[in-house]
């Protein structure tokens, strides 16, 4: 069936020649938007990719995700301490109940350059506002375990795991963490402060009898659950229950307060995301003639090329409704104009475009230019610097390539990629490149025969070397030691397995046998 939808009833005017072709009519033009896009104020004044970005980031914003979060044992959760309903709302928010469970704060935002620490999409935040609780949140993580039963041994006897505090004299394979915070039932008390590698759930499993039948010192093995090495917090809740099979299982929820710091990610409702570049106390922040100090300072370079005009309109409308004590209607495709908002602001004694005189925080002198300042709804996103910061000196390597592992969770190395390599080449750092790409990666030593160029057999303890290639057996040969990346040696061996023999020659003065 062919459908043609009219945006508004005015399109159905019978005098228009094409009005008879419509089959349906929208309740309101804003109903074409989905749930995430419906919370954007004035999306019809934004460049379309910015609305798409906000639709994705709105799902990552901290708020109160569920009204019963205190009794839920979710794997991970972020809860904002003081969320506020936005000053500028859309009609769709009413039906989405966004006011009841909001995910952001109305901040006083100034668009200006101040000390240069808000370059490249970074933000300057008011440290005094942070100390008073601005954007503070709690992070909940849940650890769980279960007493499993399994048949072991040749007879197939049923053995069951047990929640208990493992003891070093009878338990084998104990972890490096701290077991002292466990009670005798193997669980940690609510309210206990825990940190990385602490044991949260103590569990043991019985060991098989030794094959000889002789009694062993160890009768159990440790199956405890430890906390993630990079996390810390307070035990918020411990839940002990049973599964449908009748086995006991336990969930331990850890709570951690996250205070905004340099590197945390924030975003407005218009796809204008950025990380904190610097925080200043209130006395170092700029202020208006009325003594208003901004909570956030955004760089003006974030506006022109991105064309997020809706953020400017939201800020202007927010300034009006703050003084009127009501909510501003920011529903898209309505007849609200910037001129109307400007007139309302001007009637209250403010500059019609939202600009104000600003005084320098350090000196108290007025700045030459007027600054656009007003309330804007900002969201704190779940990408926190504490969950991403990573460094390493030494650490584990991959078994196959002997190169450092990848990733923070595995204590991996920091990758020097192709573009980083190109930068080093342009700077001419030859020794540093060798250090990064070879010495600190997978340096390996092999011995090769200079006659045939293939790998020779070496016994470094006995200091004996020989080349077992048929061409070299019984012939005079010379062995040479070289250093190559282990991945290169691995590639050579894989090529040899496919009957391709790569040869390495080091010195032209040695006579080679080219008969092969």
Q: In the 8-state DSSP scheme, what is residue 436? A: I
Contact 297, 118 (CB under 8 A): yes
Q: In the 8-state DSSP scheme, what is residue 17? A: T
Measured distance CA(404)–CA(422) in Å, rounded? 21
Q: In the 8-state DSSP scheme, what is residue 512? A: P
| CA within 13 Å, CB half, 403 | 17
Contact 350, 324 (CB under 8 A): no
429, 430, 431, 437: CA torsion to nearest 10: 100
Contact 289, 357 (CB under 8 A): yes
Measured distance CA(369)–CA(67) in Å, rounded? 46
Distances from the Cα of 300 to the Cαs of 213, 276, 498, in angstroms? 78, 16, 60
What are the φ and ψ backbone dihedral angles of 418, each rounded to 5 degrees? -65, -40
Distances from the Cα of 84 to the Cαs of 125, 234, 238, 332, 379, in angstroms? 18, 26, 31, 22, 10
Location of structure tokens 């040695």: 510
Q: Left, alpha or beta for 392 (phi > 0: left; psi -120 to 50: alpha)?
A: beta
What are the φ and ψ backbone dihedral angles of 222, each rounded to 5 degrees? -85, 130
Strand intervals (E) in 384-471: 443-449, 457-459, 464-466
Measured distance CA(330)–CA(82) in Å, rounded? 23
**Residues 7-10: contacts with CB under 8 Å, at least 24 apart:** 7/333
β-bridge mates for residue 126, sequence order: 280
Contact 221, 207 (CB under 8 A): yes
Measured distance CA(354)–CA(372) in Å, rounded? 6
Q: At what angle do helices 309-324 and 338-347 cross, to 10 degrees?
A: 30
Catalytic residue among 121, 329, 387, 411: 121
Is residue 121 part of the annotated active site? The answer reads yes
Q: Which of 350, 295, 303 minimizes the C-alpha distance to 322?
A: 350
Q: Which of 106, 120, 444, 127 minimizes the C-alpha distance to 261?
A: 127
Which residues are designated catalytic?
A: 121
């Amino acid at each position: 069936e062919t459908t043609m939808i009219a945006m508004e009833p005015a399109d159905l005017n019978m005098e228009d020649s094409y009005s008879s072709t419509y089959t349906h009519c929208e309740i309101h033009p804003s109903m074409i938007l989905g749930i995430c896009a419906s919370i954007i104020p004035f999306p019809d004044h934004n460049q379309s990719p910015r609305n798409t970005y906000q639709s994705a980031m709105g799902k990552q914003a901290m708020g109160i995700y569920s009204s019963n979060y205190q009794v839920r044992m979710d794997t991970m959760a972020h809860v904002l301490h003081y969320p506020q309903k936005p000053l500028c709302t859309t009609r769709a928010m009413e039906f989405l109940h966004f006011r009841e469970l909001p995910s952001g704060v109305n901040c006083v935002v100034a668009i200006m350059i101040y000390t240069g620490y808000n370059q490249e999409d970074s933000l300057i935040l008011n440290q005094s506002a942070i100390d008073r609780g601005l954007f503070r949140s709690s992070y909940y993580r849940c650890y769980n375990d279960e007493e499993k039963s399994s048949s072991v041994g040749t007879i197939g006897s049923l053995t069951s795991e047990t929640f208990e505090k493992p003891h070093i004299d009878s338990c084998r394979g104990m972890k490096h963490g701290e077991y002292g915070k466990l009670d005798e039932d193997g669980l940690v008390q609510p309210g206990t402060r825990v940190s990385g590698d602490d044991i949260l759930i103590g569990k043991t499993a019985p060991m098989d009898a030794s094959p000889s039948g002789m009694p062993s010192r160890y009768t159990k093995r440790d199956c405890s659950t430890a906390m993630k090495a990079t996390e810390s917090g307070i035990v918020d809740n411990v839940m002990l229950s049973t599964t449908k099979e009748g086995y006991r299982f336990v969930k331990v929820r850890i709570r951690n307060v996250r205070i905004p710091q340099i590197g945390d990610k924030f975003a407005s409702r218009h796809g204008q995301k950025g990380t904190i570049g610097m925080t200043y106390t209130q006395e170092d922040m700029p202020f208006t003639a009325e003594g208003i100090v901004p909570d956030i300072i955004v760089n003006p370079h974030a506006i022109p090329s991105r064309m997020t005009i809706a953020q400017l309109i939201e800020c202007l409308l927010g300034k009006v409704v703050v003084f009127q004590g009501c909510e501003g209607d920011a529903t898209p495709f309505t007849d609200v104009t910037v001129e109307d908002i400007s007139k309302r602001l001007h009637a209250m004694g403010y500059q019609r475009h939202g600009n104000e005189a600003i005084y320098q925080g350090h000196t108290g002198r007025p700045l030459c230019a007027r600054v656009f300042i007003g309330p804007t709804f900002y969201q704190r996103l779940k990408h926190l610097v504490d969950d991403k910061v990573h460094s390493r000196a030494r650490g584990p390597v991959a078994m196959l390539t002997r190169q450092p592992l990848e990733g923070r969770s595995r204590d991996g190395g920091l990758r020097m990629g192709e573009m980083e390599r190109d930068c080093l080449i342009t700077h001419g750092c030859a020794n540093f490149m060798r250090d990064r790409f070879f010495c600190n990666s997978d340096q390996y030593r092999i011995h090769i025969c200079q006659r045939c160029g293939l790998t020779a057999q070496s016994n470094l303890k006995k200091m004996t070397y020989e080349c077992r290639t048929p061409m070299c057996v019984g012939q005079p040969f010379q062995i040479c030691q070289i250093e190559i990346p282990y991945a290169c040696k691995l590639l050579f061996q894989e090529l040899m397995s496919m009957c391709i023999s790569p040869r390495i020659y080091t010195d032209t003065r040695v006579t080679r046998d080219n008969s092969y």
